[in-house]
Each structure stands twice: as C-alpha cells, then as structure tokens.
Structure 1
Amino acid sequence: MVLDFAAAYDQLNPDDDDYRFYAALADELGVTRVIDLGCGTGTLTRLLASRGRAAVGIDPDPDMIRVARQRSGGEHVDWRLGFSDCADTGSADFAVMSGHVAQVFRDDDAWSRTLRDLHRALLPNGTLTFESRNPGAHAWEQWTRQATLRTLDTVEGPVEFWHETAWVSLPLVAYDTFTRNPRTGEQAANRDILAFRDVPVLVDSLETAGFSVSHQYGDWQRTPLSPGSREIILVAHRRS
C-alpha cells in the first residue's frame, strides 16, 4: 500500500482558517513580495500570489513542491526546493509559516537559524507571522485513532489514516501517523516529533533574531491569547 501523502495533503487538511487569516493580514499590510516557508502543496502561496504579489514558496519535500507546481495558479509562484537559506536577502516584506511549520524545528539551533534567515530575507519593518500549538492546550491528548481517524479515497481504494501520540517530553512530542488498507489489512506507520514552545520562549527567540512582536492571538478570529488557547499566533516585525 502506497499513499501519495503530498497529493492527499489538502484532502487531509481541508480547513482554511489559517490561510484566510494570513491572506487578510497581507492585504491589510499592503505587502507586495512574500515568502511562504514550508509551503507544502502551496495553497496559501498561490492565494497570496493571486493578489498580484511576487510570491516565493519554499519546502524541503520534493513531492510537496511537485504537487504545488501542478496546481492551478502554480505558474505564478517561484517554487524552491530547500530550507530558509534559499530565501534571497532583502527580497520580501512579508514572510509566513503556516500549517504549524514552526513546530518541525525541534532543535533550538535550527529554529534560531531559520529566524535569522527570515530576518535577513525581510526588508526593514517587514512582517513575519506564524502559528504554533499552545502546549497549555495539550493537543497531543486528542491524537488517538478514535479522534483522528479519516478515510481517503485513493486509486487503490479506501485508505484509513490517523494519528497516535507516542510519547511526551516537553517541549517535544512524538506522534505516529498510520495508514491502513481496510480491505487487505496492510498497515504502515511513520513517526514525527514536534516542538511545543510556549509564548515566552517563542517571543524571546524572535526578539533575539531581531524582531519585535506586535500581536499575539489565540485563534484565527484574533481572540487575545490566553493560557488555554489552542493556538499561539504571532505577528512580528523586523527591526532595522
């Protein structure tokens, strides 16, 4: 059983609250050049580019970039395979990391390098925005087969897909992603580890990298951040 995860990504993640939030923020700020780091299949990148902006989408997964290029509007985006060091110096006034990309940098040095790269890539007073799951909300407690099970239609027939938390040692949380063919019983699993940084750590890392945090939200409706908020959504600006 082979599941093309990249092709199925949008079906597995149909909610677009984050995309609409970031697109609206870009509109409000009147930005003209954007970087989407960890762009995945490029849904947000293409949305930002559709407003007539110059858009760069960067992702280390070649399958994600493959799918992004093939989607409608993909021809208007500069797709780059790689990491934050692929961003050109002084090339953007808006940088975004959606889809909880900030949490894949479980090593603090890698997270700091990423922030420094984005600081270099942004113009003075340019905006960096991203979200991270709030460790205070204990999202991993809901990562069970019962709570996350979905069934996808594929060329091989229906495939079950779900998550299960493997271990918790904050700020790190490991979880397994399972796929199963209900017809044959064939099953596969893949383990990932995410960093659940709290607000003080995130703000301090941004300030150390040369940013000033202007807004902190707890959801996509811009509710002020609270200890029990599911999301930590930060908007920061590059200091000169």
Structure 2
Amino acid sequence: MDTFAVFSDADAAALYDLLNPWDPERWPSDGFYEELVMAAGAVLDVGCGTGSMLHRAREGGHAGRLIGLDPDCAALARARRRTDIEWVEGHAAEARWTAEFDLVTLVSHAFQCLVTDHELRASLAAIHAALREDGHLAFETRHPQMRAWEKWSPSNASDVIDASGRALRVWHEIESAVGDVVTFTTTTAGPDGAVLRVDRTSLRFLGVAALDAFLAEAGFEVEARYGDWNRGPVTTTSGEIITIARRA
C-alpha cells in the first residue's frame, strides 16, 4: 500500500463508507445479508471493514452476539464508534474461536481477498471451527466468466465530495491478471488529477467447481447457491456466485 500523508488511512476508511453505503432498502445484496444476520443468534463478520452491516443489525434490533473481524485498523477505528459490538483486529486464518457462531459472513466480495491456497484453506478451517454444529457460512464472489476487472479503468472514475468538502476522483486500474488472481490499483486524486493516494489490491476469481472443492475440503456442504441477489440460479450470464454453506 502506498499512502501519502495528504490522504490518511482514516480518510480512506471514511471515503469507503461514502462510496459503499450499507443500505438494505436500496441494495438487494445488503438486504440479502441483513435477512441472514437478523435470523442468526451469534454472527461473525469476517472482513467487516468499517462495520456498517453489523451497525445496521444492532440498530435494527439484533440482540445477540455480533463480532467484526478485520486486519485494517483504520476501518476498525470507524467500526468502533459503536461499542455494543465486539471488534477484533486480525485475519480469518488467525481466528481461534470454537463453536461460538451460528453464522459467519464475508460480504462485499471479501472472500476474494483470500488469494493463496494456503490462506484460503487456513481461513476456511478457522471459520469451520468457529461455527456451531449446523452453522452457516455466507459469502459471494464475482463470477470469473463476466471478467468484471476489464471494466476497472480510469474511464470509469467516480467523482465524490467527501465529508470535509473535498472534491475527489477515484478510479481503478489493472496491473495484472495471472491465472485466477487479478491485481489492481485504486487511485484517489483531486479534481485536477493530482494523486493523493494509491492502494494496491489482489483478488482471486474462483469458479463454482474450484469454490466447491475448497469448501468440501474444509468440511462444508453447499446448502444454497445463487447467481443473483434475487436468488436466481447460477447461469452462463451470472455476475455473482452467492453461496450459503453449512458446517458438516
């Protein structure tokens, strides 16, 4: 990550919330997860970021245990504005909970941040251990058949005004696509194009067969699989692979 003093990690976390507001009424994906979370007694959100999903659940009346896990301390600082939720800094592979949760989620394509086979296997093993018998794991990944990364370019930049009144332009640019791993940069700049910050990210795009092999190896059974947020099947035009897996 290349971070410039003019645009801090805290600024980047606040900008994420501005660009990605959690709104179950507006976004079917958020509504999908809200329904699952509200029906579960104890929930672990892996890759919780700024905690918007769990904030909303608590505001909506969830009375059970809610925990957010993320390695990004700046994002967690925003999440911790709400103190009636547990916030843990760390990676899924390092988690040591045992049979404590009814539901584990990885939302907003967080599953794709598990890039290597080792990281993916270790994370799924830790999640499996953290779930109670018949507990569920819910996540989504972008379907590789749609090659979503080909649309990530400066020509698709987003223009926003942040909380301090700064005009900003944000865009993605692909560095490489090797096998099923895509590496790209996210640039935050002023309206004149002056670069304030550049972040580098790698994501893994797994197809259905590869996903299911990793899940089965970790002791999960796929209970439901959707290709869109209206719970339609995965087809040759699906942009998402949405999975609900049960701890076997």
Shift of 1:75: 1.7
User: Aligned pair in 2 of structure 1 residues 207, 5: CA closer, same or farther (>3 Å)?
Assistant: same
Distance 2:196 2:35 in 1: 41
Contact 2:159–2:167 (CA<8 Å) still a contact in 1? no
Correspondence for 1:63 among 43, 63, 74: 74
- Corresponding residue to 1:51 among 27, 51, 62: 62
Q: Displacement of 1:193 after TM fit?
A: 1.0
1:122 shift after superposition: 0.3
| Kept in 2: contact 1:150–1:162 (CA 8 A) | no
Unaligned segments of structure 1, at least 5 residues: none
Aligned counterparts of 1:55 and 1:87: Cα–Cα separation in 2: 16
- Which aligned runs of 4 or more in structure 1 are off by greater than 3 angstroms? none
Give, in whole Å, the separation in 2 of the partners of 1:109 and 1:184.
39
Other-structure match for 1:177: 186
Distance 1:185 1:22 in 2: 38
Answering whether residue 147 of structure 2 is matched by residue 138 of structure 1, we say yes
Asked whether 1:213 is paired with 2:218, we answer no
Pick from 230, 233, 247: which aligns with 1:224? Answer: 233
How big is the shift at 1:164?
1.4
User: SS state of the match for residue 132, structure 2?
Assistant: strand
3-state SS in 2 of match to 1:88: coil
CA distance in 2, matches of 1:139, 1:131: 14
How far apart in 2 are the matches of 1:106 and 1:166? Answer: 16
3-state SS of paired residue (1:5): helix
- The aligned residue for residue 2 of structure 1 is 7
Q: Deviations over 1:88-111 (max 9, x none)?
A: 211101100001111111111101
User: For 1:162-186, what per-residue CA distance to the aligned partner results, in whole angstroms no more than 9, with x for missing partners?
Assistant: 1112221220111110111225834
- 1:52: Cα distance to partner? 1.3
Q: Percent of aligned pairs with the same residue?
A: 32
Deviations for 1:137-181, whole angstroms, at most 9, x for unmatched residues? Answer: 110111011223333335372121111122212201111101112
1:13 to 15, 20, 25: 20
CA distance in 2 between counterparts of 1:12 and 1:32 reads 30
Name the aligned partner's letter for residue 78 of structure 1.
Answer: E
User: Is contact 1:133-1:232 (8 Å) kept?
Assistant: yes
**Which residue type is aligned with residue 33 of structure 2?**
Y
Moved more, 150-159 or 18-27: 150-159
TM-score by length of 1: 0.91
Aligned amino acid, residue 8 of structure 1: L
Q: In 2, are the aligned partners of 1:149 and 1:163 still within 8 Å (CA)? A: no
Structure-2 change in CA distance of 1:222 and 1:148 (3 Å): farther
TM normalised by structure 2 equals 0.88
SS in 2 for 1:220: coil
1:25, CA displacement in angstroms? 2.4
CA contact (8 A) 2:181 2:202 kept: yes
Across the aligned residues of Structure 1 and Structure 2, the Cα RMSD in angstroms comes to 1.7
Q: Which ranges in structure 2 are unaligned for 5 or more consecutive residues?
A: 1-5
Task: Answer yes or no: is the 8 Å Cα contact 1:80–1:86 preserved in 2.
Answer: no
Hey, what does 1:193 align to over in structure 2?
A: 202
For these two proteins, the number of residue pairs brought into alignment is 234
Matched, 1:26 2:37: yes
In structure 2, the CA distance between the partners of 1:169 and 1:184, relative to structure 1 (3 Å rule), is closer
